Amino acid sequence: MITLSRKIHFSSGHKYHNPNWSDQKNKDTFGSSYSEHGHGHNYTLEAEVTGPIDAETGMVMNLADLDAILTEVTDLLDHKFLNTDVEHFKSNMPTTENIVKFCYDHIINHLKNSPELKLHKVRLYESTDLWADYYG
């Protein structure tokens, strides 16, 4: 079995703010990540797919196919204000944790018809100093 990984970049804005909480509780919870106007990041999404090498193509998965899946996911997020522009994040805080899980769920849904492939891990870099891994 071989694992391949592919990266894609996107940029989004978000705000760490729970409208059901007081301003003080939001500040206490989100600390330096909290600001009234929100903020943004250049994200890097990386998917790792594990599978056997196909005898005819020599590939685990055609990277163009994986690119298409990743692009479909990131098109939902790229240059959006996640809290209001993306339906899922109207009811889920758009933290790095929830975004990586959102991406994982989308990618694995596309791989359902390829039982020989396993989505090993999805990693989301918020910056070079912080990233999240989700294994499902």
| Binding residues vs other proteins (CB under 8 A) | 16, 18, 20-21, 28-33, 92-98, 100-101, 121, 128-135
To other proteins, the closest distance from the beta carbon of 121 in angstroms equals 8
To other proteins, the closest distance from the beta carbon of 10 in angstroms equals 18
Amino acid residing at 136: G
Identify the residue whose tokens are 């729970």.
Answer: 18
* Cβ proximity to other proteins, 19 vs 115, nearer residue: 19
* Cβ proximity to other proteins, 24 vs 113, nearer residue: 24
To other proteins, the closest distance from the beta carbon of 77 in angstroms equals 15
* Cβ proximity to other proteins, 10 vs 134, nearer residue: 134
| Token duo for residue 13 | 């804005």
To other proteins, the closest distance from the beta carbon of 116 in angstroms equals 21
Closest by CA to 3, choosing from 56, 64, 75, 66, is 66
Please name the helix (run of DSSP H) or strand (run of DSSP E) that holds residue 28, with its range, or none.
Answer: helix 23-30
Strand-pairing partners, residue 125, are 44, 131
Closest by CA to 43, choosing from 130, 112, 117, 136, is 130
